[in-house]
A and B are shown apart, each in its own frame.
Chain A
Amino acid sequence: MSPSATRERLSPPITATQVQLFIFTVACVAAFVWSWIFLGMSFSGITSSFGDVSRLVKRMVPPDFSNLSNIVDATIETVWMAVMGTAGAIVLSFPLALGAARNTSPHPTIRYICRTVISLTRAVPDLVLGAVFVSALSIGPLPGVLALAIHSIGMVGKLFADAIEQAAEAPREATISVGATRRQTTRASILPQAMPSMIATALFRLEINIRASTVLGLVGAGGIGVLIQTSLRSLDYESALGAVAVIFVVVTAVELLSVRIRSAILGDAAALAQSSRHGWFSQRIIARDTRVNRKSFETRALSPPWTWDRMFSTATISGFLLALAVAVLTIDIDWARTVPLMPQIITVFGDLFPPDFTTVRSEMVTGIVESVVIAVIATGLGLLIAVPLSLLAARNIMTKRILSTVTRLVMLAFRGIPELIIAVIFVSAMGLGPVPGTLALTVVTASFSAKLFAEALEEVDAAPREAVLAVGAGKIQEFFASVVPQFMPAFTGHFLYILDVNLRSSTVLGIVGGGGIGFLLLNSMRVLEFQTTGAIVMAIFGIVLAIELIGNWVRQLLR
């Protein structure tokens, strides 16, 4: 055997996938460096910017709660908007998901149409939708609710369809074989399987929509957002912090609650019983379930017993319906006046066409480039911060429990303030421009992706880790040999997702003066140049579609 042949066998063959991944990595680094230079970023600049921000934050303390009743009213409106928007999204998504899922769709053409509608709604940011609806229906919470409902279809519809497609095939066949109709089959075999996941999705979306609705006020679509901006503009910093504090409390509480409810709905009782952390509580639940099951058997009951799962799901659903009823009855929407205005939405959407790319072409190009650059830097910098944070937060990596808990709390604190609110604060501290927008997005990216990464790290299979330790490897060797290879696919997947999210966010940062195409977008609407608006929406749509295509390409490489 020739020496070269030996060497070849001792090194892994270079595959097309590796080459493509390498190109992708180099392109990402190049894009980051170019963006960094384009915006004239520097670390000393960043440090002094955070100095500006901390000075502003100091002037915000102590928070002023003197108009607390206003803040509370606005917060309640914000929450009701989110509830109604989510309810609307569920109602609209359900039939779309049934049409889009492989196993329930009546026809391939319908499936294709449903899928397209679902992805289209996701591509237009909710703030953009909100702005369009405001120009049709004038300011107030209703345009906000509609914007949330339409934009949420993208996620809710997709995850509903996924849940339906993941339902096991055998029960469906069994139901068909007893002579059930298509609708009976769906009802009897598919929905029961998909329901827990669908409830969890709806809750998760409600959580996202509460964040989103806090900033819809910035385009006049109702909620608390406008209160913060007004206070900052009138230099009433203490009141601004008062409103931010209330948002923080609501968002954080909703997140903590939603995570608990979702894991309770998704996790089955048997898995709960085995987890030592909830040992005592879950043992009690299982004991109770066993008891009620036995009782209904002994009494030959003809309706299902109230097991923990059943009580929990029922309570969640009725809680949501109750909130929805209160929202519809109490929210400040003049239905008699606005309902007749609904057709105007179609008129406004019609006004967007044909898109006019000519009027502000150079500004539009600059704006789009700026948006992309902001997203790229925020993603890159955010990840640089997020990776070490996630290592500290992951309980299977950082075995000192106190450190991981503290890290988690810090991350949670930063997630509690919606990114556009952070952007508003940064812009107030540093002035208009893309840099404050970038830094605001970086902070949010860091805390959000650190959470995703920590979760992915905790899902790493422990068996190879133990095996690597058993050969006598040190802790760092073990980390690189067993954790890193397992973590890489999740890392890349989350990276693409975060880049995607940041591109959408950076297109609306301009609304609060944080740079990018958003300013032009809002401005074109204010001066009623709807065809230019149409062109910008098309451009945003194009960027989002491009990143989705890149994402699909890389994900397929990683499979």
Chain B
Amino acid sequence: MQVINTVADSDVAVKVTSLSKRFPNGTLALDNVSLEVPRGQVLALIGLSGSGKSTLLRTLNGLHAPTGGKVVVQGTDVSTANGKSLRKLRHHIGFVFQQFGLVGRATCMENVLVGSLGSLRGPRLGVRSYPVALRRKALEQLERVGLSEQAFQRADTLSGGQMQRVAIARSLMQEPSVLLADEPVASLDPESANQVLDLILRIAREDGMTVICTLHQVELALGWSDRIVGLRAGQVVLDQMNAQLSQDQVMEVYRATGTPMQFETESALQSA
């Protein structure tokens, strides 16, 4: 199933080899996953909830430590990086979360400035504690996502789509070479979802970023990415360039597996 395995190492942004992740409670979230993502590719990661998509993304920037296998991002081995080297690596990997990860009470500007913490020494509190040059840069990023007017508005006063755009501006502060996006549009209405995905795609093309993005909506994944990788129960079950795929093939990833147990739990919760 592997399509792209003939690229030179220097052109590889992310290389995952036989990666496994077992959580302390025993769940095997990733089961021997191998994946190679060339520079500048926009990859959509699809699969049911609990199929291991988020875990895979989180392993890529060291938010989760793998229990087996190897993860190399931009030539750095994430699985062995720790402390300072891990922080340095993270500084060059953008991460966009489903729930945005904004500090609601802080202004948009401050939330964007947080993206530069990896290049600064010492703690910061409040916009004024950041150097003016960085503030100017933050404003430019806000401009890029179309929210410079809201710079000093509290983040929790924005709509969901706007919040996600602030979160993207925060990632842009890192000048990332790789952007990881974990269900960036799952909490948004269709209109905002399109806006946010278009924004990510535009920026990725402009800056030559590699993007790995988990998505729920198959149509979005088909219309938007270069390549689609499907996960089921922690294993890669689909890996194709977008052009060769039909919707039915992709839907196959979502084929129901072992649902009776899930049903049991749900009915128990409802009656409780």
Q: Given A470-B95, A481-B114, A273 and B152 touching (CB < 8 A)?
A: no
Contact B90 A469 (CB under 8 A): yes
Whether A10 touches B101, Cβ cut-off 8 Å, given contacts A290-B272, A477-B123, A479-B123, is no
Task: Tell me if B272 and A485 are in contact (CB < 8 A).
Answer: no
Whether B123 lies near A481 (C-beta < 8 A) is yes
Which A residues lie within 8 Å of B147 (CB)?
Answer: none
Residues of B within 8 Å of A13, CB to CB, are 152
Please tell me if the beta carbons of B97 and A471 are within 8 angstroms of each other in the complex: no
- CB neighbours (8 Å) of B63 from chain A are 466, 469-470
Inter-subunit contact A473/B87 (CB<8 Å) = yes
Contact (Cβ within 8 A) B105 A488: yes
**Which chain A residue has the least Cβ–Cβ distance from B152?**
A12
Q: B123's contact among A294, A471, A480, A486, by CB below 8 Å, is which? A: A480
Is there an interface contact between B124 and A481, defined as CB atoms closer than 8 Å? yes
Check if B132 sits within 8 Å of A10, measured CB to CB.
Answer: yes
Contact B268 A467 (CB under 8 A): no
Q: Is A289 an interface residue (CB 8 A)?
A: yes
Could you tell me the distance between the alpha carbons of A485 and B106 in the complex, rounded to whole angstroms?
Answer: 7
CB within 8 Å of B: which of A301-330? 307
Contact present for B135 and A10 (CB under 8 Å): yes
Could you tell me if A472 and B91 are in contact, using CB atoms closer than 8 angstroms?
Answer: yes
Contacts A467-B102, A467-B167 given: A472-B87 contact, CB under 8 Å? yes
Q: How far apart are the CA atoms of A10 and B174 in the complex, in Å?
A: 19
Interface size class of B (residues with CB under 8 A): 35 or more
Q: Say yes or no for A270: interface residue by CB 8 A criterion.
A: yes
A384 at the interface (CB under 8 A from B): no
B152–A472 touching, CB < 8 Å: no
The complex places the Cα of A270 from the Cα of B92 at a distance, in Å, of 40
Bound CA span A427–B174, Å? 59
Given contacts A481-B117, A481-B123, contact A489 B269 (CB under 8 A): no
Asked if A468 meets B272 with Cβ closer than 8 Å, knowing A12-B107, A477-B120, A489-B105, the reply is: no
A472 and B118 contacting across the interface, CB-CB below 8 Å: yes
Residues on the A chain within 8 Å of B125, using CB: 480-481, 484-485
B158 at the binding interface (Cβ < 8 Å): no
- Is residue B170 contacting chain A, with contact meaning CB distance below 8 A? yes
Let me know if A33 is at the binding interface, CB within 8 A. Answer: no
Residues in chain A near residue B201, CB distance under 8 A: none
Q: Please indicate the chain A residues that have their CB under 8 angstroms from the CB of B109 in the complex.
A: 12
Q: Encode B74-118 as 1/0 by CB contact (under 8 A) with A.
A: 000000000000111111111101011111111101100011111
The distance in angstroms between the C-alpha atoms of A270 and B267, with both chains bound, is 11
CB of B241 within 8 A of chain A?
Answer: no
A9-B105 CB under 8 A given contacts A286-B272, A466-B63, A471-B118: no
What 1/0 flags go to B250-272 for Cβ under 8 Å of A? 00000000000000000111011
What are the residues of chain B within 8 A of A476 when measuring CB–CB?
Answer: 122-123
Interface size class of A (residues with CB under 8 A): 35 or more
Determine the distance from Cα of A469 to Cα of B114 in the docked complex, in whole angstroms. 10
Docked pose: A477 CA to B114 CA in angstroms: 9
B101→A473 contact, CB < 8 A: no
Return the contact of A289 from the options B99, B151, B167, B271 (Cβ within 8 A).
B271
Q: Which residues of chain A in 453-501 are interfacial with respect to chain B, using CB atoms and an 8 Å cutoff? A: 461, 463-464, 466-474, 476-482, 484-486, 488-489
Q: Is the CB of A472 within 8 A of B174?
A: yes
Contacts of B152 in A (CB 8 A): 12-13
Q: Is B61 an interface residue (CB 8 A)?
A: yes
Task: Return chain A residues, CB-CB under 8 Å to B171.
Answer: 471
Q: In the complex, which residues 136-164 of chain B have their Cβ closer than 8 Å to any Cβ of chain A? A: 136, 139, 151-152
In the docked arrangement, what's the CA distance between A283 and B202, Å?
48
In the assembled complex, A556 has its CB within 8 A of some CB on chain B? no
Cα–Cα distance between A286 and B87 once the two chains are bound (Å): 42
Complex interface: chain A residues within 8 A of B122 (CB): 476-477
Q: Which of B103, B107, B126, B136 contacts A486 (CB 8 A)?
A: B103
**A471: which of B86, B115, B272 is its contact (CB, 8 Å)?**
B115
- A482 CA to B170 CA, complexed, in Å: 14
Expressed in whole angstroms, the minimum distance between the Cβ of B38 and any Cβ of chain A is: 23
Q: Once the chains are docked, how many angstroms separate the CA of A276 from the CA of B100? A: 25
User: B106: which A residues are within 8 A, CB to CB?
Assistant: 485
Q: How far is the CA of A287 from the CA of B269 in the complex (A)?
A: 9
- Can you report 9 residue pairs joining A to B where beta carbons are below 8 Å apart? A11-B127, A12-B107, A273-B269, A470-B93, A471-B170, A471-B174, A481-B117, A485-B110, A486-B105
